[in-house]
Chain A
Amino acid sequence: MIYIVFSRGDHFSKAEEQSDMSRHLLRAGLSGEHGINIGNDDFIKNAWGKPFLKDHPDIYFNVSHCSGGVALSISSFRTGIDIERVRSFSEITARKILTDNELETIKNSKYPELDFFRFWTLKESYLKALGVGMSYPLKKISFTIDQNSNITTNLKGCMFALFENDRNFVAAVCYLNRSDYLKETLIYRLLS
């Protein structure tokens, strides 16, 4: 299941507030979906710091937060999720992480900031699903997004989905080793 909370106001603009909301969402999600009540000692981390449930190796989760947004994915598949507030972006960064085709898409876009963060969150969700931090060359991952929001990629056996809110926030979720149609339930809450 995917849980996303967006804020139109100044809710969780601070990192500590975002972390608190992330923990709250994770506790509620794991309790509601699997009846698991987690404590601070119930996690183990891999070499890159990605947390897993110590006693439930078949349940995967991933959390992301930004100023005003928190997202959580819980799945039986290895999963990664990323959420970003849409804002101006650095052209230096764009050239560092995007393929030539993706740069061309942004150049010709009516909403370049939105398209940039679509690509960024998709790539970041894949890295987070792998659990390898920033050590993967982002330019080797390529995406195209058509006018119907269909996502195609050069990555094999992965599934991706994008969630957007009034062009203010973008969230992307990735599942590894999954190719069926996305049937995840989306829990969506907008704080005014």
Chain B
Amino acid sequence: MSRLISALAALAVAAGLSAATAQDDPTVFYQGKNLIFVVPYGPGGGFDQYARMLAPHLDEKTGATVVVENRPGGGGMTAINQIASGEADGLTIAILNGVPAALGQITEAPAIRFDLADLTYLARVNAEPWVLLVSAQSGYDSLEDLVQASEQGEELTFGGTGRADGPTDAAAVVCAALELNCRMVVGFQGSSEVSLAAIRGDVTGFAVTDRSARDYSTGSEDLVPVAVIGRQRSALLPDVPTIFEAADEVKNPFWIEFRGGIVDVGRAIVTAPGVPEERVEFLRQAFEQILTDPEVVAEAEAKGLPISYAPGSEVAQTVKDVLGEIPEDRLTDIRDVLLNRYF
């Protein structure tokens, strides 16, 4: 009898242990489960396309059933709020728009209730450099033109959709870096409406991602790309000089470095803080395999979705560097440039 009991006890312990290790083994854990891939914007947009392109590959690599779910709202931030405060089981991931998230956090936007430094980063899918475009109607066709005009007292206007939205802050850091006489004209509904305003000549210019810049300026003479806002040229617009090459003197390079760091966060895949280490590693590996696979990259490029992979650990570090210990006076300065000075 006692032998039966101890045998049963041993069996129970063994079963318990193997259940625990089964839970610990991510391959087993994800098998057949629903993995929700949240897109913080509506269907059809760039982020949606990236997610839907990656979903079948992720499905294959993890054995889970990947479901893409659109949760628009809060300028893309509501969904991230939900992720940040959600279950830490690794079954919900999201594609993050790094630029407005980081800027929003720095400027204490009301929509943001997360701390980017807390999120778990699985990979970066792409990071796009931003390009400054100038309206042909303005009469300027180079960065030096803008600098000289500004020195002569001309006011340069740049279009955007709101504050710290992408186009506006990119233009703002250029103005701060070169000490230009600038004013932002915001309120347009989307960067394509801004581009229309620039084509009309209502504003001097505007800043967009290199992809959009290429689409707006190729084959038309209404918009001229004058500089890439960063240290490196863009692969999509190889003839456009960087701001450091185009300007005679960049008085405050800090602003370009600052925004460059934020751009490096890019489109990142994130999940909740506190997800068990093994599952994070598992997902990170899956994404690494997918995003470095030349076939996948080619497939994505063909759809107009460039990939520039960075591992999750690197993104986490970038976030720490950019958002980490910013001294108070520097923070005030940043908030002034992004929200105040040019409005």
Chains A and B form a bound pair: no
